[in-house]
A and B are shown apart, each in its own frame.
Chain A
Amino acid sequence: MVSNKLSSSVPTDREVVLGILNDSEDALNKLYTGYFPMILQFILNNNGDEDDAKDVYQEGIIVLYNKIKGGNFELSSKLKTYIYSVCRRIWLKKLSQQSKKTSNISDFEDVMAVEVDLEQHEEKDKQFDKMQDALLHLGEPCKTIIQDFYINNLSMQDICEKFGYTNTDNAKTQKYKCLQRLKKLFFQV
């Protein structure tokens, strides 16, 4: 079977878990490239295309990532099986949402129960979408200011210069207003 070819380039489960716990981008890279063909094969053989594969796979990796970060990933379950099962579940859900038939699924790997993890993931995913929506509605320059401050960790001074405010107080006021609106958008949705 084609999926057997994976084994050579795939990092060990332990490497992946330790790498993710230590925020190693290299480990993530290896993980990502290692298991992608498995999911691509699954999606392509079950009414999906390459883009579907990418979306489903990335969602699956996020689930795995959160589980490892949450500290409750047990090495007893094989990483490969876990990823496959999660992605399979996600894809079946998408298929049924598109009201395509989900019977007669071609499987290539063992499958394990991952429903609990996926419920948690869906909750988080909703929060993510909410935040994304809120930021979208916030508009510029608020969005960039908030992102610069909270994500890119720029200081008020940097933001003041970047956006050409006359002094940091003005920048602070602006940021405060933006944040208030964002919170309002976020909590109200």
Chain B
Amino acid sequence: MRNEIELEGIIEDYLNGKLSEAERTAFEQLRKNDPIVDHKVVAHKVFLESFGEYANVLDLKAKMDRAHAQIDVETLSEELRPHPSYIINIWRKNKAAIAVAASFILLTIVTVYSIQQNTKQIGSVELMSREMAKIKNSQSSLIRIINSKQVPNAPKHTKPANFGGTGFALTANGYLLTNLHVVDGADSVYVQDNKGDSYKAKVVRTDSQYDLAILKIIDKSFSPLSNLPYRLKQSGIGMGEIVYTLGFPKDDAVFGEGYVSSRSGYNGDTTQYQVSIPVNPGNSGGPLLDHQGNIIGVISAKEKQVDGATFAIKSKYIQEALNSIPNDSLGKKVAFNKRNSLQGLSRNKQVEKIQDYVFMIKVYK
């Protein structure tokens, strides 16, 4: 028993490196010769190491407990515990998924929107009446201010017109045709001819279905025109037909030429042609003529952000509109010449003749 205790003391000292050089050599000799002693050394070594680690962990835990005591766990867990609100929990758990879903939806919207933009003529036709006052806002919307130049022959009004369009003579005695949207809601309407003379006019008839309006010049200074040079073409006109128009996007008449690009108008509207012709605000109500000088339509609108997609109301509907008007309201039956005096004339001669019958419509609202 006693020897055992001493042996263990020596083993411990040996393992802890406390033996002197001589003692250590002697003990190692003993270890070699006696397997039992050797086994005891190994076992004790393993035990001491395990115990050392046990002690270390115990020490670490004690230190951590002290650190833990400094933390206000309750307040912290109040802050960090799952939020009672279901939605916030969902948000916390699925942040990534929600983000992905949101970007997907956004992408879809953008894609669908752009597809629609590309495949459909979406509701953005621009009526070609001039909104003079609006030009300040945007140059790209092609609206223009009429300079309030005083026309010496027409001292009746001093303020500039708010809106402008074009109209053309239906009869020699002062009936004009234009678009309804040009004169819609007007307080007063003046028309100005090619020479710069202004006449007061009134709206005598409107047709909202085809966006047409008939004006009558009521000014006493107006002297009747000579016979109309053009006639209304009753039959339809084919694609590719060269056409031209005269209008007032500015104070002087402007000539524009193009071709019929489709037999239907905006979104397949069969009452209109689609015409590839440069028009600007102010062209609304202008006559559309073919190369022989027949009126085949009335310029009414163009598609926004698309170049050369102008729409013109077919002449057939002009006639329908005229026919629906009781004779007595116009005083005298409106009848176009059967004969077209423009036929066979060169383009510039045609325009020269027509321009006396095309008026700038000035509208005050």
Contact with B along A49-75 (1 / 0, CB 8 A): 010011000100110010000000000
Q: Give a binary string over A119-133; 1 marks a CB under 8 Å from any B CB, 0 the rest.
A: 000001001101110
Checking A29, A32, A128, A186 against B53 with a beta-carbon cut-off of 8 angstroms, the contacting residue is: A128
Q: How far is the CA of A130 from the CA of B57 in the complex (A)?
A: 13
Instruction: Give the complex CA separation of A47 and B268 in angstroms.
Output: 64
Evaluate contact between A183 and B71: CB separation under 8 angstroms: no
| A-B interface contact total, Cβ < 8 Å | 87
- B149 interfacial by beta-carbon distance below 8 Å: no
- Contact in complex: A45, B82 (CB < 8 Å): yes
Residues of B within 8 Å of A104, CB to CB, are 93
Q: Does A188 contact B (CB under 8 A)?
A: no
B221 smallest CB distance to A (angstroms): 81
Contact B79 A127 (CB under 8 A): no
Dominant secondary structure of chain A at its interface with chain B: helix
Q: Which of B4, B47, B66 contacts A176 (CB 8 A)?
A: B4
Residues of A137-189 contacting chain B, CB below 8 A: 150-151, 172-173, 176, 179, 183, 186-187
B18 within 8 A of A: no
B255 located at the interface, meaning its Cβ lies under 8 Å from any Cβ of chain A in the complex: no
The answer to the question of A112 belonging to the interface, with a C-beta cut-off of 8 Å to chain B, is no
Minimum CB–CB distance for A32 against chain B, Å: 4
Q: Which residues of B contact A45 (CB under 8 A)?
A: 80-82, 92
A33 touches B71 (CB 8 A): yes
A112 to chain B: closest CB distance in Å? Answer: 18
Distance (whole angstroms) from the CB of B339 to the closest CB of chain A: 86
| Residue on A nearest B7 in the bound complex, by CB | A176
Residue with the highest number of chain A CB atoms closer than 10 Å, among B50, B54, B63, B79: B54
CB-contact partner of A151 in B50, B55, B60, under 8 A: B55
Name the B residues within 8 Å of A183 (CB-CB): 43-44, 47
On chain B, the number of residues with a Cβ less than 8 Å from chain A's Cβ atoms is 35
B45 CB → nearest A CB, Å: 12
- Measured as residues with beta carbon below 8 angstroms from the partner, the interface class of chain A is 35 or more
In the complex, A61 Cα to B66 Cα: how many Å? 14
Indicate which residue in B4, B8, B67 contacts A32 across the interface (CB closer than 8 Å).
B67
B82 lies within 8 A of A28 (CB) = no
Is B73 an interface residue when CB atoms closer than 8 A count as contact? yes
Give A104 to B58 CA distance when docked, in angstroms: 35
- Which residues of B lie under 8 Å from residue A127 when comparing CB positions? 50, 53-54
Q: Which residues of A contact B71 (CB under 8 A)?
A: 33, 36
B34-73 vs A, CB cutoff 8 Å, 1 = contact: the mask equals 0000000001100110110111011011011011101101
Q: Are B43 and A32 closer than 8 Å at their CB atoms?
A: no
B76 at the interface (CB under 8 A from A): yes
- The chain A residues found within 8 Å of chain B, CB to CB, are 1-2, 25, 28-29, 32-33, 36-37, 40-41, 44-45, 50, 53-54, 58, 61-62, 65, 104, 106, 124, 127-128, 130-132, 150-151, 172-173, 176, 179, 183, 186-187
Given contacts A36-B76, A61-B60, 14 further A-B contacts (CB under 8 A): A33-B70, A36-B71, A37-B76, A37-B80, A40-B73, A44-B81, A50-B77, A61-B64, A106-B82, A127-B53, A131-B50, A132-B54, A183-B44, A187-B43
14 examples of A-B residue contacts, CB within 8 angstroms: A28-B60, A28-B63, A29-B67, A32-B64, A33-B71, A40-B77, A45-B80, A45-B82, A62-B57, A127-B50, A128-B53, A131-B54, A150-B55, A176-B8
In order of increasing CB-CB distance, the 8 nearest A-B pairs are A32-B67, A41-B80, A131-B54, A44-B81, A151-B55, A176-B5, A29-B67, A45-B82
B residues apposed to A, CB below 8 Å = 1, 4-5, 8-9, 43-44, 47-48, 50-51, 53-55, 57-58, 60-61, 63-64, 66-68, 70-71, 73-74, 76-77, 79-82, 92-93
